[in-house]
Structure 1
């Protein structure tokens, strides 16, 4: 499954050896905004928030995992915690926030698992240095294989927005697949983005 998905692509989550993917991580990396002034440069902390919403087959919202609720009710989705600043001293190559999803322990009622990103203080995605997303097989400390990346900082598609839908895992005939959405939304708050996902992306 050595794939780097483009926006809108869908894949079956089956590995090259025939085994099904059991767990994935969604990692977000970003930096502080550098501002130039009369007295040199200053750095403005950026608070991006990765979130995950679980939906039933009828698109009913079952759970939302975000900085205020770090673990899903069934324990299958875990958030690493809220990063309020980003990499202030330059890109350290590590993800600032990571959400881990374990398919084997997901409640059977869950049919859709959507991942979203919001700029908490309203910083324009287009102004944030090296903002990027990667979705990979592995754990928060071990990356086995990356199968989707989004370079938010260098894509003109995200300029002017503070919210986006990263992608949706969905279950068909008891098999999990992934839809790499990678689209900004006009929403300002997480709840609005969750509603947009329920209405437009499931």
Structure 2
């Protein structure tokens, strides 16, 4: 069903719906501009009662566990997913919007983009319930209230609004009762710093997207994990920020591959720890918080790769079974123990691809033998050596990381390892 501006329709009446996905799409005419989708969780007063009720790329999850924002790796640009049963009775509406990032400052407006649309999809069945195309009647505005999902007689309805706003995101926040601080120098400095970091990861996501396009992998979904060496020889790289930067660079890969835009993380020496997943919401200072300042993490010992590899396999094949392939980036700076070879061979029957990255000056004797390793149904591992990973440009890093993955996808699919 294609909606018209101002049209209101029943969403849940007569349907068994539990999880809805609002899929946003647009086409930008300028490479320097950026567009973001967001939503506001509103009370009966039509306002956000707390800052956390504003969901966007910088705060992708609400405190109810009902709403999630993510980038989309397929033809749509961004997704906002709603678990209706988790929204408390106090929530009367959920307003959906798109904004031109820093439009007023950079001179970008709605007229610099086209083909705005919103699709409502039943997440469980994949059925598209409606499509709303909007924005053709707008020009100088920098934000759009796309529509509102609202309660009506114990059911949910949708109002297709498509109204433009001047003043961008700040104006929308004010409209929904949020206070936008602009006067305090400290607040402004923090905001600028965070904006720089977020802009950097947005740029890296675009580079990943370009790399995936070159390798004809734009429609592939996969779960992404990173395993980080935390042995004694890595101490300096943790303290000087190199490992934090690696996490941020790999998060950009996860953001394009993974529906949840989340990166699974392990660290290991002769023991291992499975850390909380990292997202664009919480990646800043992730390594300091979760590793360096975490007394529960065993670190700076000797290396033992098979132990952590066993846990990786356990997570994806036993605890969280899925039809999606798994892409694991394994960072190591001293070479691996010889039993790692058996762990790789034994895991070839599983939908897991190991991309080993050697950093530093070691000879990586075992990892250099991956291409000639026998006894596997498919070649499920690759090795690259980057002596100084911090000096490698993003474009080169992503190209090398994703070089062998497409071939494994093809071979694993043919062997029915990926179903």
TM over 0.5: yes
Change (3 A) 1:32 1:148: closer
Are positions 1:195 and 2:174 aligned together? Answer: yes
| Aligned-partner Cα distance in 1 for 2:39–2:110 | 19
Are positions 1:96 and 2:97 aligned together? Answer: no
What is the DSSP-based 3-state SS (H/G/I as helix, E as strand, rest coil) of the residue aligned with 1:11?
Answer: strand
Change (3 A) 1:32 1:9: closer
Contact between 1:167 and 1:181, CA under 8 Å: does it hold in 2?
Answer: yes
RCO comparison, higher one (Cα < 8 Å, 6+)? 1
* Cα offset, 1:146, TM superposition: 3.8
Give ranges in structure 1 of 5+ residues lacking alignment: 35-43, 84-91
| Aligned-partner Cα distance in 2 for 1:12–1:55 | 19
Q: What residue is the counterpart of 1:33 in the other structure?
A: 29
Q: Residues 148-192 of structure 1, C-alpha deviation per residue, up to 9 Å, x if partnerless?
A: 32243xx1x12111101000111122211111101111232x231
Are positions 1:56 and 2:56 aligned together? Answer: no
Contact between 1:12 and 1:177, CA under 8 Å: does it hold in 2?
Answer: yes
What is the DSSP-based 3-state SS (H/G/I as helix, E as strand, rest coil) of the residue aligned with 2:175?
Answer: helix
Change (3 A) 1:121 1:146: farther
Q: What residue is the counterpart of 2:182 in the other structure?
A: none
What is the DSSP-based 3-state SS (H/G/I as helix, E as strand, rest coil) of the residue aligned with 2:170?
Answer: helix
What is the DSSP-based 3-state SS (H/G/I as helix, E as strand, rest coil) of the residue aligned with 1:110?
Answer: coil
Alignment of 1:97-176 (within 5 A): 97-122=78-103, 123-128=108-113, 130-139=114-123, 143-152=126-135, 155=136, 157-176=137-156
* Cα offset, 1:57, TM superposition: 1.3
Q: TM-score, normalized by length of structure 1?
A: 0.74
* Cα offset, 1:70, TM superposition: 0.3
| Aligned-partner Cα distance in 2 for 1:45–1:138 | 33
Q: TM-score, normalized by length of structure 2?
A: 0.37
What is the DSSP-based 3-state SS (H/G/I as helix, E as strand, rest coil) of the residue aligned with 1:191?
Answer: helix
In angstroms, what is the RMSD of aligned CA positions?
2.4
- Equivalenced residue count is 170
